[in-house]
Amino acid sequence: MVYKTSGVCSSEINFEIDEKKNTVKAVNFKGGCSGNANGISRLVVGMPVDEVIKRLEGVSCGFKSTSCPDQLAKALKKWRSDE
């Protein structure tokens, strides 16, 4: 799924979900801070979707009210509601 981000340096998040296990299979941020985006992507692979949302939702970036991790949580919540 492709999620268009808002309020962050990254312009979109591409991700795959293992629907049988309800876990994150892959995450790729387009743009943003490469090291942080790659780190987040590697950390969440294999985690249950709800756990990723729980851990990342509400994380801010500097003066911004959102962040790339928070945007990933929003993307996963949208995926979950579209299921």
Report d(CA 47, CA 43) in Å as an integer.
Answer: 8
* pLDDT tens string 3-56: 999 999 999 999 999 999 999 999 999 999 999 999 999 999 999 999 999 999
> What percentage of the chain exceeds 90 in pLDDT?
98
pLDDT of 51 reads 98
pLDDT of 83 reads 73
Q: What is the CA radius of gyration of the chain?
A: 12
